[in-house]
Amino acid sequence: MLFRELLEAVEADAAGGDLNAVVEGIAYDSRQVRPRFLFVAIKGFRADGHEYIGEALERGALAVVMERRVELPPGVAWALVPDARRALALLSARFYGNPSFKMKLIGVTGTNGKTTTTSLIADILAGAGCRVGLIGTVNNRIGDRVLPVKHTTPESADLQQLLHEMVIEKVDACVMEVSSHALALHRVDGSEFDLAVFTNLTQDHLDFHRDMEDYLESKLKLFKWLGRPGHKREAGIAVINADDPHAGQFIRAAGGTVYTYGIKNAADVRAESISIGARGACFGVAGKWGRLRLDLRITGLFNVYNALAAFTASAAMGVPAEEIKEALEKARGAPGRFEMVDSGQDFAVVVDYAHTPDGLENILKTARKITEGRLITVFGCGGDRDRTKRPLMGGIAARYSDFAIITSDNPRTEDPLKIIKEIEEGMKTAGWERYVTEPDRRKAIRLAVEMARRGDVVVIAGKGHEDYQIIGTRKIPFNDRREAAAALKELKKAEN
């Protein structure tokens, strides 16, 4: 595409050089630049892309988009823009032929429940005969093909390339987790959503957002976009959790048609007569699309909400209620979400991604209901992230657990012992002492398994599907599910 044609997608303050240069690719990392590429210089959190423009030109870039003027060789095409991140998104969408215009695009946002809800919607749409793409925390998928994940929501250039691949492979609908980071950093700008789902809003990411109000405003962007004039003929649809305290703000912000779901408050779709067991949840669904009974293979009140969100979104897109029921009753949920590790032992071991106060409370509440003996919780908190949630999570573990083992999560560049001490503060405030600290996560998991007895439940929280630990700046292979299975195998061997 000609550089000047690409620039029609953005409002450039100035432009020059060879505007008829033919651009054959877009990169925001100078190491990814190839001959005849456009390089977009982003000012990041650790590095400033403007400092790497020279390297990009050496690698063959023929055009540069930047926020501040940098001296360039004669003839190099350039443009000056007010926001390079937003420009990257709009330029990439234009370069890849605006792929979101050519499929149904469903975005799911919220603090907790995004991964499971996107997975359930994808299962329903696939069951209804659609070819489905999925973009999220655990993996990206095009049909049955699984692709690696770097961010919950990819950087905008990568996202548009992925959506373009989906168009080539004739995807009918893409279901995407949309993180607050993605919304704040313009990663999904240039994408046109047909439907947006709001799950809930609780404390998280305050290392990135100024405060909860800033966090909320980022989430609201997705719903405000539904009312903007676009290339799709049909108005956007908003699906909102009526039981969340922020529901009213999302309803008021949303453009297009709004549908609500919930358990406690009046809603278009409600769950009733809920029964939650160790292996699943049963409940009635009543509302706009009639009445039916769901018998899920996934458990927990939080998964009742996730299933309601998926039901409402799918029904709003025209999938018949009976087809939704069939798909939901087959679904096994997302990996690392209240996932049982079963080696035939007489106690339960559950691995879950819960890494926020609300997430941990939801998991422990569910575990408490299925615990006949003791509830043993293994958890930690990530380093270089919101420190204020650490004592909160310590207090929550104290409230619901019979015993806890505080361990290391992804300490990153922080001292794991200091993180553990901040978690301990929440337990001390609660006057609770039934815990030990074990910074070695492998040892902590084995200790929990060794102390468990018949009827106990061991919850290993914080990492879920992740297959690594981040220690310093290195990713070390580590998988809670494998570690728990190995500990159970050793226990069985010792007993024999």
Contacts of 160 by beta carbon, 8 Å cutoff, 6+ apart: 89, 92, 93, 95, 96, 99, 190, 191
Contacts of 243 by beta carbon, 8 Å cutoff, 6+ apart: 262, 263, 264, 265, 267, 305
Residue 202 annotated as binding?
no
Q: Any idea which residue has 């420190």 for tokens?
A: 387
Residue 408 annotated as binding?
no
Residue 114 annotated as binding?
yes
Give the span between the Cα atoms of 464 and 53, in whole angstroms: 39
Contacts of 229 by beta carbon, 8 Å cutoff, 6+ apart: none
Residue 399 annotated as binding?
no
Q: Are strands 348-352 and 339-340 parallel, antiparallel or unpaired?
A: antiparallel
Residue 306 annotated as binding?
no
Give the span between the Cα atoms of 15 and 32, in whole angstroms: 24
Contacts of 37 by beta carbon, 8 Å cutoff, 6+ apart: 23, 24, 25, 26, 27, 56, 59, 60, 61, 62, 63
Residue 30 annotated as binding?
yes
Number of continuous H segments (helices) and E segments (strands) in the chain:
15, 24
Give the span between the Cα atoms of 376 and 452, in whole angstroms: 8
- Tokens (6 digits) for 480: 């809670």
Residue 466 annotated as binding?
yes
Residue 116 annotated as binding?
yes
Residue 257 annotated as binding?
no
Residue 110 annotated as binding?
yes
Give the span between the Cα atoms of 25 and 17, in whole angstroms: 18
Residue 31 annotated as binding?
no
Residue 153 annotated as binding?
yes
Whole-angstrom CA distances from 272 to 5, 278, 319 are: 55, 19, 22
Residue 412 annotated as binding?
yes
Residue 179 annotated as binding?
yes
Residue 109 annotated as binding?
no
Whole-angstrom CA distances from 468 to 106, 204, 308, 412 are: 29, 21, 32, 12
Residue 437 annotated as binding?
no
Give the span between the Cα atoms of 308 and 117, in whole angstroms: 9
Stated as kind and residue range, the H or E segment containing 270 is: strand 269-276
Residue 411 annotated as binding?
yes
Residue 24 annotated as binding?
no
Residue 113 annotated as binding?
yes
Annotated binding site for meso-2,6-diaminopimelate: 385, 409-412, 462, 466
Annotated binding site for ATP: 110-116
Annotated binding site: 30, 110-116, 152-153, 179, 187, 385, 409-412, 462, 466
